[in-house]
A = this chain, B = another copy of it.
Amino acid sequence: MNAPLTPQPLDAALLQQMADALRVLCADAVEQAKSGHPGAPLGMAEMATVLWSRHLRHDPADPRWPDRDRFVLSNGHASMLLYALLHLTGHDLPLEELRRFRQLGSRTPGHPEAGVTPGVETTTGPLGQGLANAVGMALAESLLAAEFNRDGHTIVDHRTFVFVGDGCLMEGLSQEAISLAGTLGLGKLIVLYDANGISIDGAIDDWFADDTPARFRACGWRVIDAVDGHDLLAVDAALTDAVTASRQPEAKPTLIVCRTTIGKGAAGHEGTADVHGAPLGRDGIAALRTTLNWPHPPFEVPDDLRAAWDARDAGAARRSAWHARFNAYAAAQPVLAAEFERRTRRALPTNWQARTDEAVAALAAQWVRDGKPIATRRASQLALNALAPLLPELFGGSADLTGSNLTDFTGHRRITPQHRAGNYLSWGVREFGMAAAMNGIALHGGFVPYGGTFLTFSDYSRNAIRMAALMEQRVIHVFTHDSIGLGEDGPTHQPVEQLAALRLIPNLDVWRPADAMECAVAWVQALQRRDGPSALVLSRQA
Contacts and interface: CB of A to CB of B under 8 A. Distances in A.
Contact of A111 (B109, B218, B429, B493): B493
B199 A428 contact: yes
A492 B426 contact: no
A388 interface: no
Given A126-B492, A426-B202, A176 B183 contact: no
Contacts of A416: 206
A171 B430 contact: yes
A31 to B, nearest CB: 14
A215 B175 CA distance: 10
B210 A182 contact: yes
Interface stretch (A136-144, A324-332, A369-377, A496-504): A496-504
A218 B210 contact: yes
Given A398-B201, A462-B459, A125 B497 contact: no
A9 interface: no
Interface string A114-145: 00000000011111100000000000000000
A167 interface: yes
Contacts of A427: 207
A82 to B, nearest CB: 13
A493 to B, nearest CB: 6
A199 to B, nearest CB: 5
Interface stretch (A83-91, A262-270, A348-356, A463-471): A463-471
Interface string A198-222: 0111101011111110110111100
A262 to B, nearest CB: 14
A504 B497 contact: yes
Given A211-B218, A459-B462, A500-B504, A172 B433 contact: yes
B170 A430 contact: yes
A111 to B, nearest CB: 5
Contacts of A71: none
A490 interface: yes
Contact of A179 (B167, B208, B487): B208
Interface string A272-294: 00000000000000000000000
Contacts of A103: 488
A173 interface: yes
A417 B176 CA distance: 26
Interface string A305-343: 000000000000000000000000000000000000000
Nearest to A426: B201
A33 interface: yes
A460 interface: yes
B489 A207 contact: no
What 4 pairs across the A-B complex have the smallest Cβ distances?
Answer: A172-B172, A175-B175, A125-B492, A214-B218
Interface of A: 33, 35-36, 76, 102-104, 109-111, 113, 123-128, 166-168, 170-176, 179-180, 182-183, 199-202, 204, 206-212, 214-215, 217-220, 398, 400-404, 414, 416-417, 425-430, 432-433, 456-457, 459-460, 462-463, 466-467, 470, 487-493, 496-497, 500-501, 504-506
